[in-house]
């Protein structure tokens, strides 16, 4: 039973790390990244539809993202959705595609984004620690020997450390991206 609890904890911690990575992908850096548009939903004929289902994305240059709608009549709705997402991007269209030019980040904006990314990383660490706490309580509630409980708690701590380390690595990479000029 304890092994099952540890496997479940590992899975939940993996999910927390994946969620943190997804949150990081939504933070704009100085270069074009289609992941930035991942959460945008477009009001398409009265239905909220994810942008990925309405258009394809290409990155012809480091600071340019091209959104090519499958249906040309959706261009105004897609433009409106991008503007409402407050990404700091001004979409421009030529009737067939929408171009998003990524301006270079100011030093102040970089620091603000780094602060935000660090906050997201801390939320990820807290999620991992919460999984540890709940699993530890479940282990202690089991009817097993003290030695088994100690062994399981050590394994749980190792899992926790490994997942927090993954979050820290993701944070380092994202900070490096943000500081890149």
- From first to last of its 181 residues, the chain has per-residue pLDDT tens of 889 999 999 999 999 999 999 888 777 676 777 777 878 889 888 889 888 888 998 888 888 889 999 988 888 999 888 888 877 778 888 888 999 887 777 888 888 889 989 999 999 999 999 999 999 999 999 888 999 999 999 999 999 999 999 999 999 999 988 887 6
Number of H helices, E strands in the chain: 5, 6
- When divided into structural domains, the chain yields a total of 2
Neighbouring CB atoms inside 10 A of 113's CB total 20
Give me Rg for the CA atoms of the chain.
Answer: 21
Whether residue 74 is found in the same domain as residue 137: no
51/40 Cα distance (integer angstroms):
6
Same domain, 79 and 142: no
Cβ(91)–Cβ(64) under 8 Å?
no
- Specify the pTM: 0.73
What are the angstrom distances between the C-alpha of 123 and each of 51, 66, 83, 117, 126? 27, 32, 27, 10, 5
CATH code, 47: 3.30.1360.40
| Same-domain pairing of 132 and 159 | yes
């Amino acid at each position: 039973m304890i092994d099952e609890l540890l496997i479940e904890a590992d899975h939940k911690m993996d999910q927390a790390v994946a969620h943190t990575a997804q949150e990081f992908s939504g933070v704009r850096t100085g270069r074009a990244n289609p992941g930035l548009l991942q959460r945008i939903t477009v009001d398409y004929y009265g239905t909220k539809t994810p942008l990925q289902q309405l258009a394809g994305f290409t990155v012809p240059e480091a600071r340019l993202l091209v959104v090519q709608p499958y249906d040309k009549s959706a261009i105004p709705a897609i433009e409106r959705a991008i503007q409402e997402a407050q990404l700091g991007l001004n979409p421009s269209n030529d009737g067939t595609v929408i171009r998003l030019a990524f301006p270079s980040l100011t030093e102040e904006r970089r620091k603000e984004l780094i602060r935000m990314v660090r906050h997201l990383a801390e939320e990820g660490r807290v999620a991992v620690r919460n999984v540890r706490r709940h699993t530890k309580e479940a282990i202690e509630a089991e009817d097993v020997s003290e030695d088994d409980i100690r062994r399981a708690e050590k394994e749980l701590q190792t899992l926790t450390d490994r997942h927090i380390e993954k979050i820290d690595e993701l944070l380092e990479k994202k900070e490096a991206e943000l500081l890149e000029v």
